[in-house]
């Protein structure tokens, strides 16, 4: 029922077992959207990895899903009207719900065992499809729905950006410490180390990751933190919620540059490019241009698999160019391209619903049964495991949230809210584009997609109400009779 890695100490048990009571305590003390931010970011930044609840007929509940389940339970019991008003399935979380339906197609088309030499991969199990469907709902629907349901105003969006920026600022000392001692804080806190610790050796040292799953997960989080701080600065709102704190305005002014430096220290080239580009876009360009860039990045999510499938991307030239800059990164990118080629070729055999689980979507040697590829990019994992149906259900969450924001941005009258909305759209876009080379490290990007849609919906609704009240008041005023002059009439 409870699963913890070997070596886990008492702190690890307290952190996981006490997280739901912690969430209820937070919701009893703070406003709804602030409580949701505290609970979700506490899990995102500090919960131990590979520890959680292994319950019958449910997927494993660990650091990736526990914060959203805890927040969902608090909302369902303490703020049920918020969930009822949001109406599950009427927003972009509907794509996450459809992915669970698509899994039934994946299961039905994969009831056959697959033989590779002496290795036999089991067929999909109809009963386990229920567990798989729950996994997809908790992964792709619940975080989006919470974000859309809870964040319904520009003020709530501002607090979301404040929270993500503060999370990055809190992690700056973590980055500096682990650059010095190597990624040890998770081990020192919880008593066991990440199995991915060895792969974070970079440039004569280590890539920090604190309590996250690996260095890339921390780097892409810092990209979002830069977007939050830069957006707040552009909108002239403090990145620190309490202006009475000494130095708060100073932190607000220099938060984004500090986070850019911290991101560079994370030693991830792609993430550093994303973060610097995001900072420049938010700082120098108007919200309309920012959303156009976000829309272009969203389009890449859908176009890239098509271009890769027809060999329209010059992978050889890209690797050659990168090799002149960094031979190790060129070798890593070449391995990614080779993995994509192999998995795409394998995925074509069951393109609509994919190969399912149990490693059936991997490329395996037909003679020896050895794995020939290591799945990496989330897009190719989604296509190979769940087919085009599953891929579209996942990635349309990002694409629709960004495209609808681009379409409706000019309807938002408040320039500060427009600035925050555009910054959030870029955060979602860069988190989404990272799913081309990398996996889905956490569900925070899906949560932010829900925050983006909910805040735009709520802002436009409140502005419509305000205009209606103003029009009604002016109509009532114009229908009143002219005042009778005082005094005698001659």
Residue 242 has pLDDT above 50, yes or no: no
User: How far, in Å, CA of 248 to CA of 242, rounded?
Assistant: 7
Query: In this predicted structure, what is the pLDDT of residue 472?
Result: 81
* Per-residue pLDDT tens digits for 34-45: 999 999 999 999
Residues near 346 by beta carbon (within 8 Å), at least 6 away in sequence: 355, 361, 362, 363, 384
Q: Tokens in use for 257?
A: 């540059």
- Region of poorest pLDDT, from 10-24, 207-221, 272-286, 359-373: 359-373
Confidence category of residue 8, pLDDT binned at 50, 70, 90:
very high
Helices (H) and strands (E) in the chain, counts: 19, 6
Q: Tokens in use for 111?
A: 């009831």
Residues near 475 by beta carbon (within 8 Å), at least 6 away in sequence: none
**Percentage of residues of the chain with pLDDT beyond 70:** 92
Confidence category of residue 482, pLDDT binned at 50, 70, 90:
low
Residue 326 has pLDDT above 90, yes or no: no
Residue 489 has pLDDT above 50, yes or no: no
Q: What is the mean pLDDT of the chain?
A: 89
420 compared with 357, residue with greater pLDDT: 420
Q: Which helix (H) or strand (E) holds 324?
A: none
Residues near 396 by beta carbon (within 8 Å), at least 6 away in sequence: 92, 95
Residue 241 has pLDDT above 60, yes or no: no
Q: Tokens in use for 301?
A: 């999510």
* Per-residue pLDDT tens digits for 176-208: 999 999 899 999 999 998 776 666 666 667 889
Q: What is the pTM of this model?
A: 0.92
Calculate the CA dihedral of residues 148, 150, 155, 157 and round it to 10 degrees: -40
* SS3 state of residue 484: coil
∠ CA(192), CA(193), CA(196), 5° rounding? 155
Tokens 């050659």 sit at which residue? 320
Contact between 330 and 323 under an 8 Å Cβ cutoff? The reply is yes
Residue 465 has pLDDT above 90, yes or no: no
The backbone torsions φ and ψ at residue 121, rounded to the nearest 5 degrees and listed phi first, read -95, 130
Query: Averaged over 88-99, what is the pLDDT?
Result: 96
Residues near 39 by beta carbon (within 8 Å), at least 6 away in sequence: 22, 23, 26, 27, 67, 70, 71, 74
Query: Averaged over 83-99, what is the pLDDT?
Result: 95
Maximum average pLDDT range among 311-320, 338-347, 449-458: 449-458
* SS3 state of residue 21: helix
Residue 305 has pLDDT above 50, yes or no: yes
Residues near 195 by beta carbon (within 8 Å), at least 6 away in sequence: none
Contact between 68 and 138 under an 8 Å Cβ cutoff? The reply is yes
User: How far, in Å, CA of 458 to CA of 151, rounded?
Assistant: 8
Query: Averaged over 76-81, what is the pLDDT?
Result: 95
197 compared with 472, residue with greater pLDDT: 472
Contact between 133 and 100 under an 8 Å Cβ cutoff? The reply is yes
- Tell me whether strands 119-121 and 201-202 are parallel, antiparallel or unpaired: unpaired
- Tell me whether strands 52-53 and 114-116 are parallel, antiparallel or unpaired: unpaired
* Per-residue pLDDT tens digits for 332-344: 788 888 888 899 9
Nearest CA to 271 among 434, 402, 445?
Answer: 434
Residue 381 has pLDDT above 60, yes or no: yes
* SS3 state of residue 119: strand
Confidence category of residue 69, pLDDT binned at 50, 70, 90:
very high
The backbone torsions φ and ψ at residue 47, rounded to the nearest 5 degrees and listed phi first, read -65, 150
User: How far, in Å, CA of 404 to CA of 411, rounded?
Assistant: 12
The partner residues of 61 in beta bridges, in order of sequence, read 53
333 compared with 53, residue with greater pLDDT: 53
């Amino acid at each position: 029922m409870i699963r913890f890695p070997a070596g886990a100490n008492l702190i690890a048990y307290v952190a996981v077992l006490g997280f739901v009571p912690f969430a209820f305590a937070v919701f009893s003390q703070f406003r709804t959207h602030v409580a949701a931010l505290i609970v979700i970011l506490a899990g995102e930044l500090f919960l131990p990895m590979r520890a959680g609840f292994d319950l019958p007929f449910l997927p494993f509940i660990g650091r990736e899903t526990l914060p959203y389940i805890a927040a969902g339970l608090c909302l369902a019991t303490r703020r049920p009207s918020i969930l009822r008003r949001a109406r599950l399935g009427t927003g972009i979380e509907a794509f996450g719900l459809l992915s669970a339906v698509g899994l039934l197609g994946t299961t039905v088309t994969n009831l056959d065992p697959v033989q590779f030499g002496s290795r036999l991969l089991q067929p999909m199990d109809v009963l386990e499809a229920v567990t798989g469907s729950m996994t997809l709902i908790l992964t792709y629907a619940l975080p989006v729905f919470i974000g859309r349901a809870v964040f319904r105003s520009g003020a709530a969006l501002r607090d979301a950006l404040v929270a993500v920026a503060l999370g990055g600022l809190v992690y700056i000392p973590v980055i500096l410490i682990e650059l010095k001692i190597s990624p040890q804080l998770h081990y020192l806190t919880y008593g066991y180390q990440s199995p991915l610790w060895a792969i974070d050796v970079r440039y004569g040292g280590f890539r920090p990751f604190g309590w996250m799953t690996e260095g890339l997960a921390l780097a892409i989080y810092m990209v979002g933190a830069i977007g939050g701080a830069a957006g707040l600065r552009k909108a002239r709102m403090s990145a620190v919620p309490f202006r009475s704190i000494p130095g708060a305005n100073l932190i607000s002014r220099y938060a984004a540059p500090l986070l850019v430096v911290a991101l560079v220290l994370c030693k991830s080239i792609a993430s550093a490019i994303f973060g610097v580009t995001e900072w420049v876009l938010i700082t120098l360009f108007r919200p309309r241009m920012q959303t156009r860039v976000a829309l272009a990045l969203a389009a890449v999510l859908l176009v890239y698999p098509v271009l890769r499938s027809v060999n329209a991307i010059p992978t050889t030239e890209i690797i050659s160019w990168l090799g002149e800059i960094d031979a190790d990164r060129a070798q890593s990118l070449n391995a990614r391209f080779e993995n994509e080629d192999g998995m795409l070729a394998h995925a074509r055999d069951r393109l609509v619903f994919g190969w399912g689980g149990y490693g059936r979507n991997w490329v395996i040697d037909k003679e020896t049964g050895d794995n020939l590829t290591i799945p990496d990019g989330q897009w190719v994992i989604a296509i190979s495991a769940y087919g085009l149906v599953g891929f579209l259900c996942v990635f349309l969450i990002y694409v629709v949230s960004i495209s609808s924001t681009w379409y409706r941005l000019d309807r938002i009258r408040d320039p500060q809210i427009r600035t925050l909305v555009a910054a959030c759209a870029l955060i979602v876009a860069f988190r989404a584009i990272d799913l081309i080379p990398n996996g889905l490290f956490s569900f925070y990007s899906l949560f932010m997609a829900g925050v983006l849609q909910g805040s735009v919906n709520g802002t436009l609704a409140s502005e419509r109400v305000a205009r209606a009240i103003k029009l009604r008041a002016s109509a009532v005023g114009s229908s009143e009779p002219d005042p009778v002059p005082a005094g005698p009439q001659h």
